[in-house]
């Protein structure tokens, strides 16, 4: 029985890729050194996989940025503004497409857009195609890496994004072209794919992996036809090269029958996300094809229950035979941290429940060995012990939390009165002017703020000194806001490293790694906390700083919390209960925090939910169920307060068309959203839906260092008041200001308040 791996983390176990790439960008590392550094990463990865007993080891899974961008560079799909001469796409051009060029070439070379890869937090650079795109082989990376491994004695399986997924995730830049028209380019791109495959075959490749994860989405007829056409042509052109067609991240459902008919040699399916479908897949597998079963979760950090996996796979083997069954992780391991080896501070009991990429490789080979009748009794009994210990650990199970969750009543997710009643009470209580001004929460996290926190963490500073430092920052922020004449103030979030980590550190059931990094985009990695047990809030988390800030001013101070869905979405989540249940526990913890803030005199409370939309399931038919529990969790956290306590929420995007009714169902008294870059056009959803509550469409693009002029913001607000009731409008930036400097924030917020004042004076109600 063979073992197969789809991809391995390229960031290096000590983030070597980030360090060398960023040094190269700064001009501190010569290109040759960068290339040597990444060659060492690749070599270590291949050898590790070989030593772990992986038979089908991937190559071309390495990337300086992301695999979609690599594919664009290989196919010569370079946007015109980069003025590419048309021979080879070199590394600097790749970085320019990803990051844009600053200065020099000017505005004509802004970076390509970036977006999330399916439902992961990994991003790719969106290919910009047009009817004029002339595809041709413009890179050698995939060939070079195959040869590089071959020289080490490893015949790898090169990995490419399949043509239909590549085109489906691209955008067309022709005026008036629809997104779907990218697929019209299939006849043009296929010959280049075929050329690439032929070259790989000539170099000695036996297997090539083509990733077509779009097979787990709702497909259009054109996409279905595209898959059939692409693989028929590929088969015909390279009949001897063996093709592994990989789907992952979900089940195939209605696409299953067609997918399993494609003329390739092996199929990979995600048996973690699509476990229920495995029998149907096996039944549909043609007799001459191999099935790679992704049984080890590539998207999460938990040890696999090997006995259970072996049992499931024994049944598959019984049906298709050992020589047609490969054992694999569910998807590429780039979505998992690299290795547990360097986690020295993690509690030993908890560490024993985890498996990162390196450990997942040995799980794959243990499962295969067991199924091949080899003696792996020791490994299996150790695994059994870990799984048992985890399931029974008192660290995980908190009967009090479970009982409280079970006792949630319908009235707990409802405010006392409907919005119109609350609205009147709040207007009377807060006496805010029209177009009230506020900000989204954070103020600049200056180098001083960050280095002071680092000192505290390293033990070079006492907690008391750190707290005094934070107090000074809060005083400064309050003073500035009063000087700008902002109506609803914030304390500035100086004490927070990250909007999820800050809460995770104070909740029980959360743990943190030292090196559990995963790539988010380019050289940006994230280190999500993980939720291993029932979540409880032992003590108030934010009351102290909010209360302190309120004591400094007569104006209203807004309390600032991260919402339950966002905490969930940006963590690794326990897999032993539904995500909805974990979210409910987080929501109850936040509810206590909201109530405590209210009791402490904080009567405006913002619960940020920037991740609600990205949590949407891949298939539309699954949306309603998700939105139900996501909305209920927000409401559970926010509904324990009096009518005249004002609940705000914030989301950093505005493509709400699909989910606007759920956004309204959150029933926040005020929502702030991102709109400035789209010139208020994105407000469309709120208008056609007649969004009932108050709304602050962002008028200051905080992603740019530019200081917006008062007039610009006035214009945006004029636009907004033509489509939304004037009395419902708030004035605020697009998002938090933590990445900006005071030099930018100061004039920008002065202008913002001036804009609000101008609106107040222009036009009566
Ligand atoms: N309150 C957070 C901040 O201002 C919100 C951040 C976010 O929406 N991502 O930083
Ligand atoms: Zn935001």
* Ligand 1 within 6 A of CB of 738: yes
Number of Cβ within a 10 Å radius of residue 605: 28
What is the 534 CA–ligand 1 centroid distance (Å)?
26
Structure tokens at 114: 């970036």
**pLDDT (average), residues 653-681:** 89
Ligand 1 binding pocket mutation candidate from 490, 608, 654 (most atoms within 8 A of CB): 608
Phi, psi of 588 (to 5 degrees): -65, -40
Write the residue with the smallest CA distance to atom 10 of ligand 1: 736
**Sheet of 508-511, strands arranged across:** 508-511, 530-536, 572-573
**Planar angle of CA 573, 575, 581, nearest 5 degrees:** 75
* Ligand 1 within 6 A of CB of 440: yes
Quote the CA–CA distance of 212 and 503 in Å, as a whole number.
37
- Integer angstrom CA distances of residue 439 from 3, 679, 701: 53, 19, 12
Q: Which residue has better confidence, 682 or 264?
A: 264
Residue 682 predicted with pLDDT over 80? no
SS3 526: strand
Give the number of the atom of ligand 1 that is nearest the alpha carbon of residue 442.
Answer: 4
Q: Which residue has better confidence, 658 or 367?
A: 367
Write the residue with the smallest CA distance to atom 1 of ligand 1: 441
Select which of 123, 384, 703, 761 is catalytic: 703
**Sheet of 2-3, strands arranged across:** 2-3, 325-329, 290-296, 266-270, 242-246, 207-211, 157-161, 58-59
Percent of the chain with pLDDT over 90: 92
* Ligand 1 within 6 A of CB of 659: no
* Ligand 1 within 6 A of CB of 669: no
Residue 473 predicted with pLDDT over 50? yes
CA of 605, nearest ligand number: 1
Among 67, 72, 62, which residue's Cα sits nearest to residue 93?
72
* Ligand 1 within 6 A of CB of 560: yes
* Ligand 1 within 6 A of CB of 441: yes
pLDDT at residue 410, rounded to an integer: 97
Residue 109 predicted with pLDDT over 90? no
Determine contact, residues 170/182, Cβ cutoff 8 Å: yes
Ligand 1 binding pocket mutation candidate from 499, 654, 670 (most atoms within 8 A of CB): 499
Structure tokens at 351: 């560490």
* Ligand 1 within 6 A of CB of 607: no
Report CA torsion sign: 391, 394, 400, 405: negative
Residue 178 predicted with pLDDT over 80? yes
- Grade residue 687 by pLDDT with cuts at 50, 70 and 90: confident
- Grade residue 363 by pLDDT with cuts at 50, 70 and 90: very high
Quote the CA–CA distance of 249 and 214 in Å, as a whole number.
9
What is the 468 CA–ligand 2 centroid distance (Å)?
28
Number of Cβ within a 10 Å radius of residue 597: 27
What is the 287 CA–ligand 2 centroid distance (Å)?
52
Quote the CA–CA distance of 107 and 752 in Å, as a whole number.
26
What is the 613 CA–ligand 2 centroid distance (Å)?
13
Determine contact, residues 560/490, Cβ cutoff 8 Å: yes
- Grade residue 108 by pLDDT with cuts at 50, 70 and 90: low
Quote the CA–CA distance of 641 and 639 in Å, as a whole number.
6
* Ligand 1 within 6 A of CB of 698: no
Determine how β-strand 670-673 pairs with β-strand 646-651.
parallel
Residue 102 predicted with pLDDT over 70? no
Query: What is the tens place of the pLDDT at every residue in 584-610?
Result: 999 999 999 999 999 999 999 999 999
Write the residue with the smallest CA distance to atom 5 of ligand 1: 736
Ligand 1 binding pocket mutation candidate from 610, 651, 673 (most atoms within 8 A of CB): 610
Spell out the residues 6+ positions from residue 157 whose beta carbon is closer than 8 angstroms to its own: 4, 56, 57, 58, 59, 205, 206, 207, 208, 209, 244
pLDDT at residue 318, rounded to an integer: 97
- Integer angstrom CA distances of residue 587 from 125, 495, 566, 608, 727: 34, 22, 11, 12, 31
Determine contact, residues 647/600, Cβ cutoff 8 Å: no
* Ligand 1 within 6 A of CB of 442: yes
What is the 601 CA–ligand 2 centroid distance (Å)?
25
Q: Where are the alpha helices (DSSP H) in 539-667?
A: 543-551, 564-569, 579-599, 623-638, 660-665
What is the 736 CA–ligand 1 centroid distance (Å)?
5
Residue 107 predicted with pLDDT over 70? no
* Ligand 1 within 6 A of CB of 158: no
Number of Cβ within a 10 Å radius of residue 551: 11
SS3 604: strand
Determine contact, residues 48/9, Cβ cutoff 8 Å: no
SS3 266: strand
Number of Cβ within a 10 Å radius of residue 715: 15
**Mean pLDDT of all residues belonging to the chain:** 96
Helix or strand (DSSP H, E) at 531: strand 530-536
Q: Can you name the CATH fold of 423-762?
A: TIM Barrel (3.20.20)
Determine how β-strand 518-521 pairs with β-strand 524-526.
antiparallel
Among 367, 334, 338, 365, which residue's Cα sits nearest to residue 354?
338
Structure tokens at 398: 């908190």
pLDDT at residue 688, rounded to an integer: 86
- Integer angstrom CA distances of residue 300 from 334, 337, 386, 523, 574: 11, 9, 16, 21, 9
DSSP string, 103-157: STTGGGGPPPPEEE-TTSS-EEEPPEE-TT--------HHHHHHHHHHHTT---E
What is the 652 CA–ligand 1 centroid distance (Å)?
8
pLDDT at residue 685, rounded to an integer: 85
Residue 396 predicted with pLDDT over 80? yes
* Ligand 1 within 6 A of CB of 610: yes
pLDDT at residue 105, rounded to an integer: 47
Write the residue with the smallest CA distance to atom 4 of ligand 1: 736
Residue 136 predicted with pLDDT over 50? yes
pLDDT at residue 385, rounded to an integer: 98
Ligand 1 binding pocket mutation candidate from 542, 570, 613, 735 (most atoms within 8 A of CB): 735
Lookup result for tokens 């922020």: 477
HEC per residue, 422-483: HHHHHHHHHCCCCCCEECCCECCCCHHHHHHHHHHHCCCCCHHHHHHHHHHHHHHHHHHHHH
**Planar angle of CA 334, 340, 345, nearest 5 degrees:** 130
Give the number of the atom of ligand 1 that is nearest the alpha carbon of residue 496.
Answer: 10
Structure tokens at 268: 């990979």
Helix or strand (DSSP H, E) at 67: helix 67-75
What is the 703 CA–ligand 2 centroid distance (Å)?
10
* Ligand 1 within 6 A of CB of 671: no
Quote the CA–CA distance of 488 and 62 in Å, as a whole number.
48
Lookup result for tokens 């999330």: 116
SS3 17: helix
Query: What is the tens place of the pLDDT at every residue in 54-101?
Result: 999 999 999 999 999 999 999 999 999 998 987 899 999 999 999 987
Query: What is the tens place of the pLDDT at every residue in 261-309?
Result: 999 999 999 999 999 999 999 999 999 999 999 999 999 999 999 999 9
Is 703 among the catalytic positions?
A: yes
- Find which of 261-265, 684-688, 702-706 is predicted with most confidence, using mean pLDDT: 261-265
- Grade residue 703 by pLDDT with cuts at 50, 70 and 90: confident
Distance between the two ends of the chain, CA-based, in angstroms?
75
* Ligand 1 within 6 A of CB of 716: no
CA of 496, nearest ligand number: 1
Determine contact, residues 529/512, Cβ cutoff 8 Å: yes
**pLDDT (average), residues 543-562:** 98
What is the 303 CA–ligand 2 centroid distance (Å)?
34
Quote the CA–CA distance of 637 and 440 in Å, as a whole number.
19
Quote the CA–CA distance of 244 and 324 in Å, as a whole number.
12
- Grade residue 106 by pLDDT with cuts at 50, 70 and 90: very low
- Integer angstrom CA distances of residue 730 from 275, 371, 510, 717, 752: 47, 63, 36, 9, 11
């Amino acid at each position: 029985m063979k073992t197969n791996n789809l991809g391995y983390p390229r960031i290096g176990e000590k983030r070597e890729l980030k360090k060398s790439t960023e040094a190269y960008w700064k001009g501190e590392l010569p290109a040759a050194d960068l290339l040597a550094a990444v060659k060492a990463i690749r070599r270590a990865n291949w050898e590790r996989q070989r030593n772990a007993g992986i038979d089908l080891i991937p190559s071309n899974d390495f990337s300086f940025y992301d695999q979609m961008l690599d594919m664009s560079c290989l196919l010569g799909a370079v946007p015109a503004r980069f003025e590419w001469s048309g021979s080879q796409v070199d590394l600097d051009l790749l970085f320019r497409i990803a990051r844009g060029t600053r200065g020099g070439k000017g505005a004509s070379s802004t970076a390509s857009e970036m977006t999330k890869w399916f439902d992961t937090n990994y991003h790719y650079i969106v290919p910009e195609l047009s009817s004029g795109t002339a595809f041709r082989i413009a890179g050698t990376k995939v060939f070079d890496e195959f040869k590089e491994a071959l020289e080490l004695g490893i015949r790898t399986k090169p990995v490419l994004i399949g043509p239909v997924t590549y085109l489906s995730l691209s955008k067309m830049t022709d005026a008036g072209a629809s997104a779907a028209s990218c697929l019209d380019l299939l006849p043009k791109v296929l010959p280049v794919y075929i050329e690439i495959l032929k070259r790989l075959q000539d170099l000695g490749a036996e297997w090539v992996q083509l990733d077509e994860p779009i097979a787990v989405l709702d497909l259009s007829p054109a996409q279905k036809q595209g898959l059939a056409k692409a693989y028929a042509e590929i088969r015909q052109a390279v009949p001897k090269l063996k093709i592994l067609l990989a789907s992952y991240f979900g089940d195939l459902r209605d696409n299953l029958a067609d997918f399993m008919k494609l003329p390739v040699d092996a199929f990979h399916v995600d048996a973690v996300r699509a476990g229920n479908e495995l029998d149907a897949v096996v039944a549909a597998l043609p007799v001459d094809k191999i099935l790679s079963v992704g049984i080890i979760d590539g998207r999460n950090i938990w040890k696999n229950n090997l006995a259970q996996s072996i049992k499931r796979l024994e049944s598959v083997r019984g049906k298709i035979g050992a020589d047609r069954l490969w054992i694999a992780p569910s998807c590429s391991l780039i979505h998992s941290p690299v290795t547990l080896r360097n986690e020295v501070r993690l509690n030993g009991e908890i560490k024993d429940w985890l498996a990162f990429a390196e450990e997942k490789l040995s799980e794959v080979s243990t499962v295969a060995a067991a199924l091949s009748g080899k003696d792996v009794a020791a490994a299996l009994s150790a695994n059994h012990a870990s799984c048992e210990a985890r399931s029974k650990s008192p660290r995980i199970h908190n009967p009090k939390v479970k009982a409280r969750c079970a006792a949630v009543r319908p009235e707990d997710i409802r405010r006392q009165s409907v919005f119109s009643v609350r609205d009147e009470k709040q207007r009377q209580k807060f006496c805010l002017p029209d177009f009230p001004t506020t900000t989204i929460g954070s103020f600049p996290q200056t180098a001083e703020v960050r280095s002071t926190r680092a000192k505290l963490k390293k033990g070079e500073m006492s907690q008391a000194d750190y707290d005094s430092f934070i107090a000074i920052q809060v005083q400064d922020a309050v003073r500035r806001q009063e000087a700008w004449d902002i109506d609803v103030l914030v304390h500035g979030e100086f004490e927070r490293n990250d909007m999820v980590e800050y809460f995770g550190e104070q909740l029980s059931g959360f743990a943190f790694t030292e090196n559990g990094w995963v790539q988010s985009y380019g050289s940006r990695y994230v280190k999500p906390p993980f939720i291993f047990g029932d979540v409880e809030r032992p003590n108030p988390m934010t009351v102290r700083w909010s209360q302190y800030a309120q004591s400094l001013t007569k104006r209203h101070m807004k309390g600032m919390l991260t919402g339950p869905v966002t905490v969930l979405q940006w963590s690794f989540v326990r897999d032993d209960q539904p995500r909805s249940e974990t979210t409910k526990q987080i929501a109850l913890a936040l509810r206590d925090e909201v109530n405590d803030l209210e009791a402490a005199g904080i009567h405006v409370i913002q619960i940020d939910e920037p991740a609600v939309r990205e949590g949407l399931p891949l298939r539309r038919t699954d949306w309603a169920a998700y939105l139900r529990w996501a909305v209920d969790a927000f409401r559970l956290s926010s509904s324990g307060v009096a009518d005249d306590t004002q609940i705000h929420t914030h989301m950093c995007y505005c493509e709400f068309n699909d989910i606007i009714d759920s956004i309204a169902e959150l029933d926040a008294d005020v929502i702030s959203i991102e709109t400035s870059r789209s010139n208020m056009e994105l407000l469309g959803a709120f208008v056609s839906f007649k969004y009932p509550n108050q709304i602050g469409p962002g008028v200051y693009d905080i992603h740019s260092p530019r200081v917006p002029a008062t007039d610009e913001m006035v214009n945006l607000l004029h636009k907004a008041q033509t489509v939304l009731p004037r009395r419902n409008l708030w004035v605020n930036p697009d998002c938090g200001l933590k990445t900006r400097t005071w030099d930018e924030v100061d004039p920008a917020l002065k202008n913002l308040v001036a804009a609000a004042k101008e609106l107040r004076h222009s036009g009566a109600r």
